[in-house]
Amino acid sequence: MLAVSQLGSWLPIALLFLVAAGLALALASVSALVGPRRARGVHDESFECGSEAIGSARERFGVKFYVVALLFIVFDVEGVFLYPWAVLFRELAWPGLAAMGFFVATLAIGLVYVWKKGALDWEH
């Protein structure tokens, strides 16, 4: 168990933890207690308010959405690396440029790969 002397500095984190857990619990309980419970009919459907579920959830369906979203996030996040480099552009000088060049080249290879693979081709 944590030593008392250490406890002080970790109190905020402990509080955060408690608040997070409490909030999650409270919200879940409230919805469970207050919400009407009719465990029949449409409520048992996977998508209560969407299209009707047909067949097993294991069935294959269009993976295109995910691919595009995934690729967007990947390149988006990698792009963020350019900002700190730009801020320190002068200090890092040539080695920095070389490193970033390598980085961008790698990204470019990735882009070429997904492009040629047809991952960006929506109609395909």
Residues at the interface with another protein (CB under 8 A): 1-3, 6, 10, 28, 31-32, 37, 57-58, 95, 106, 109-110, 112-113, 116-117
Nearer to another protein, 7 or 82 (CB): 7
Please report how close the Cβ of residue 38 comes to another protein at its closest, in angstroms: 12
Nearer to another protein, 51 or 58 (CB): 58
Whether residue 89 contacts residue 96, with contact meaning beta carbons closer than 8 Å, is answered with yes
Please report how close the Cβ of residue 116 comes to another protein at its closest, in angstroms: 4
Nearer to another protein, 68 or 107 (CB): 107
Report the 3 state secondary structure along the chain: CCCHHHHHHHHHHHHHHHHHHHHHHHHHHHHHHHCCCCCCHHHHCCCCCCCCCCCCCCCCCCCHHHHHHHHHHHHHHHHHCHHHHHHCHHHHHHHHHHHHHHHHHHHHHHHHHHHHHCCCCCCC
Please report how close the Cβ of residue 113 comes to another protein at its closest, in angstroms: 5
Nearer to another protein, 3 or 77 (CB): 3
